[in-house]
Chain A
Amino acid sequence: EADIYQTPRYLVIGTGKKITLECSQTMGHDKMYWYQQDPGMELHLIHYSYGVNSTEKGDLSSESTVSRIRTEHFPLTLESARPSHTSQYLCASSVAGNYGYTFGSGTRLTVV
């Protein structure tokens, strides 16, 4: 039973379009993360948040932006999609103090 939800599961979109990937969790976790994963490769952190109104860029440069207006919601937005953005995007959350992470099912994005 998933406590962290990502939508859409799959998305094919044209170059130049603006898109928002949704991530919501029902566990009241303070920390939330967005990871990008290319096929067969490791996950890379692109954004994270330690709580409401807190957002930080991760280790991998990304042209996306995030917001954290509510604890449970951490959407990721691409203002102008490009084929290089084709990847899988995984959302995760955790409580403070590294007490385990919960991952969403991911959004597989294809930009054509």
Chain B
Amino acid sequence: KNEVEQSPQNLTAQEGEFITINCSYSVGISALHWLQQHPGGGIVSLFMLSSGKKKHGRLIATINIQEKHSSLHITASHPRDSAVYICAESSLRDDKIIFGKGTRLHILP
């Protein structure tokens, strides 16, 4: 069983919609990561957070340590946001990252 669960697995939305992707994890973490992977495979690190909330442009990431849950929000979504969004945790046990399976987001123009 993957220790990092994401939902939904796939999401299609219209341009302009507010997008939420959820992530749940089961073990104590030192940090929670949100990554973006475009077709072609390159990965970009969007956020790393251990508490509270972070914002970068139209992207917002939140984390609730007590509930072991994080969300990634995209405001005013755009077709160029279409990508796979991956949640990952850095475990307290070691420095290695455990990845979720990703959420495939498709924004229609």
Given A42-B2, A98-B30, A98-B31, A106:B96 Cβ within 8 A: no
Write the A74-112 contact mask toward B (1 if CB under 8 angstroms, else 0). 000000000000001010101000111111111010000
Minimum distance in angstroms from A83 CB to a CB of chain B? 19
User: Size band of the B side of the interface?
Assistant: 20 to 34
With an 8 Å Cβ cutoff, the count of chain A residues facing the other chain is 26
Partner of A106, one of B42, B86, B90, B101: B42
- Asked if residues B95 and A105 are in contact (CB atoms below 8 Å), the reply is no
B101 CB contacts on chain A under 8 angstroms: 41-42
Partner of A103, one of B35, B90, B95: B35
- Asked if residues A45 and B96 are in contact (CB atoms below 8 Å), the reply is yes
| Nearest opposing residue in chain B for A44, CB measure | B99
- Asked if residues A43 and B99 are in contact (CB atoms below 8 Å), the reply is yes
- Asked if residues A103 and B45 are in contact (CB atoms below 8 Å), the reply is yes
Given A42-B102, A103-B44, A106-B42, A48:B96 Cβ within 8 A: yes
A41→B37 CA distance, assembly (Å): 12
What are some 16 contacts across the A-B interface (CB < 8 A)? A31-B95, A42-B101, A45-B96, A50-B95, A59-B96, A90-B43, A98-B90, A98-B95, A100-B33, A100-B45, A100-B48, A101-B45, A103-B44, A104-B42, A105-B40, A105-B41
**Residues of B bordering A, CB below 8 Å:** 2, 30-31, 33, 35, 40-45, 48, 86, 90, 95-97, 99-102
